[in-house]
Structures are given as structure tokens and as C-alpha cells.
Structure 1
Amino acid sequence: MITARKERADSVRNRAALLAAAARLFKEAADPDSVKMADIAQAAGAGKGTVFRHFSDRTGLIAALVVEETRQLREQVVGGPPPLGPGTPVAERVPALMAALLDLKLNQRALMLALEQAGSGSPYLNPAYDLWHSEVAGMLADVHGREDADYLAHALLAAVRGDLVVHLTGRGASPAQLHAGLRRLCASVLAGGAGGEA
């Protein structure tokens, strides 16, 4: 019994060390493809087999790391205070969430790009995208109705895709410029709703 507890404690520590090492390497990387499983294992002081035991493959590791990196934001959206939490007027909540997602893409460029590239070639085939689409569509449904909200949520999320953020910042766009454009886009999407508060 003591051995089993020790193994579980070691497993938890190993997983945390791997995620911390992966977070650091992705944060420092200019190109997400440059972050290899072997590099993560070495940075964490673990064997490569340990990485695969915890995460199965690179996609699994990336997905687990994104869960950790977005935990606070998800908690704020689900049950936090304004402007992200429930009960905030849609006209404030949608721009606040989109701004937070843009900040996430700006601060974690390589990781978010890696996540988008890991979805079987499509940025839409990962649980993180489904989560944010569901949240944004739910907010927009109060303004435009559920049918239109589904498409409009996709359109808003396209504006904060990791590859677009990397492309625009690479061409000299500043974070302030991206945020200003995103605010205008949100205002345009929220204007003229069929009902609800806008």
C-alpha cells in the first residue's frame, strides 16, 4: 500500500514536471515544431518513455498543457465575476472573452499554434476549440438566436486563431492594434441583433 501511494505521488510529480518543462519550451520557441518530446523529457529530467506513458503522444501532451494554461480563464468564464462570468451583459462579456483569448494567443503563440496544428490537420478538431465555440455561441444566442450564433461564434474565433496572430505580428502589427481591431469586430457582430441584450 505504501509503495502504491509512493508510485502515485511520483507519477503526479513526474506529470507536473513534464508539463512545466513543456510550458517553458513552448514559451521560448519561435516554431512549435521545434519542441520535441525528447527535449521535454530531457528538460524535465525524465526518460522519453515517461512522457509517452503520461500523454500517449505529442498531441496528448499539447492538449493537457493547454488545459493547464487555460484553467483560470475557463473557471472565470464558467463561474467567475464580471466581465467574464455569467450574469455579465453580452455586450461586455463577448468582447472580454475574445480579448482574453487574444491575449492567450499572443502570450502562448507556439503552444496555441501547436494545438491548432495537432487537430488532424484542422484547428477545429480539438476539445479546446469546442469549448470556446460553445461559450461564445451561447452568449451570442441571446442576441442573434441559436442558428446565427453558431456561425458568428466561428467567425469571431477565426479572428484570434494562432496562425493569424503569428502572421499579423510577424508583419508588424502590435498587440494594441490587434485588440483595437477585435473590439471593432465584436461591436459589429453584436450590433443589430434580433433580440436579447446587445
Structure 2
Amino acid sequence: MALPLAGGERHERADAARNRELILCAAERLFAQRGVEAVTMDEIAAEAGVGKGTLFRRFGDRASLCMSVLDERERGFQEAFIRGPAPLGPGAPANERLVAFGAALLDRAEAEGDLLLAAQTGTPGLRFRHPVHLAYHAHLTSLVRELAPASDAEYLADVLLSALSSELVLHQRRGRGIELARLKEGWRDLACALIAHHPA
């Protein structure tokens, strides 16, 4: 199955590519210095030395900018679950790959949670149409379909992904103090229970 990888080839004018790089580097610096939530789009434009109109024309909104900042890391993650070593990548049984995928996303939420959350909270519904979400959904649908062919694999992929949303994971970690290891155990239980309820 061909998955919709994040990003893709870009064909930009030299000045547009330069502005994009200036904006992304400025956002990375400010996010690292002050935290994602403390930085405004105006401040990013000023740090990059571009007009606010240029920033919004290029990225549309804050969520799209944050997703672009995450883009290279996202490409690496998708490469890992599509072509990387088992159990996240091919070569392991589908149930092990499913568990490994969730554990890897939980690790990312732990390390990059604020940025991931900002990327997920833009225009309502936008993240569900974004290539990153589509890639995750296609991957989980494929694994669930392999494990439980008679199930509604697309719906179960939605359910599984909802348990891995950055907003929920950060609430569990910071608001409720749940340990990361417990979240991984819970993910394993959820994945196994859903598949067991829909045998092949």
C-alpha cells in the first residue's frame, strides 16, 4: 500500500524557498527558547525578517506552521514504520507492529508534545485531512485488516488513533500524572482487545 507521506517534493521559487527556511528556522529557535504556546505568529515573522502577510500566505495558520516545523521528524518516523526495522517496520507480525506503532507515537508525544498539539489544533477537522493523519490511518487500517479481515478496519483505525492524540496523551501525562509506561501498557491492552473482539 502506498502511504501519503508528509511533505513531498516542492517546486518553489528561490525567494519563496528562502522565506520558508527563514520562517521555519525562526520558529524552531523561538519554540526552543520560550515554548510553543508562548510564541506568537507576529514574533515568528519578526524573528524571520519577513512580513506577517508572507508568513500567513506561506503557512495559512499556526497549526500548519507547526506541522511544517515537524516535517523532517515526521518523514523519519514514517520511513521507520514503512521501511524501517521490525517491530515498527516490516518483518514483524501485524499485532507486534500495531503495538510498536502506538508506543512510538507515545514516545513522540512525550518528546514533542507541545509542538504536536499545536499542529493538531488548527482549523476544525483539518488534521484529519492532513497527509500525516492519512498516512497513520492507512497504516493502521492495513494492520487491522490483516489481523481481523472481517472487522470494519477503517473505523477501528479511527478509534485507535483517537487514543494516541497529543491532546489526550498530554492531559494523561500532565493533568493526571499517568506514567508513560502505563500508557504503553494501556495501548497494548486496547489494541489487543479490539483485535480479539474481531477475530479473523
TM-score, length of structure 2 as denominator length:
0.78
User: Is residue 60 of structure 1 aligned with residue 60 of structure 2?
Assistant: no
Shift in CA distance, 193/27, structure 1 to aligned 2, threshold 3 Å:
farther
> Which of 164, 177, 186 lines up with 1:181 in the alignment?
186
Change in Cα spacing, 1:146 to 1:17, as seen in structure 2 (3 Å) is: farther
Partners of 2:148 and 2:198 within 8 A in 1: yes
Alignment of 1:113 onto 2:117: yes
How far residue 8 of structure 1 moved from its aligned partner, in angstroms, is: 5.1
Match of 1:88 in 2: 92
Whether contact under 8 Å (1:105, 1:162) holds in the other structure is yes
1:136 and 2:140 are equivalent in the alignment:
yes
Question: How far has the Cα of 1:19 moved from its partner?
Answer: 1.8
Unaligned residue ranges in structure 2 (runs of 5+)? 1-11
Asked if the contact 2:95/2:143 (under 8 Å) is kept, the reply is no
Q: After superposition, where does 1:1-198 map in structure 2 within 5 Å? A: 11-26=16-31, 32=37, 34-120=38-124, 123-145=127-149, 147-170=151-174, 171-191=176-196, 193-195=198-200
Deviation at 1:91, TM superposition (A): 1.6
Instruction: Tell me the C-alpha RMSD between the 2 structures.
Output: 2.7
Deviations 1:158-179 (A, max 9, x none): 1111111121122211222222
The sequence identity of aligned pairs, in percent, is 39
How many residues were matched structurally? 188
Counterpart of 1:63, as a letter, is: M
SS at match of 2:121: helix
Q: CA deviation at 1:77?
A: 1.7
How does the TM-score come out when normalised to structure 1? 0.78
Query: Is contact 2:105–2:164 with CA below 8 Å preserved after alignment?
Result: yes
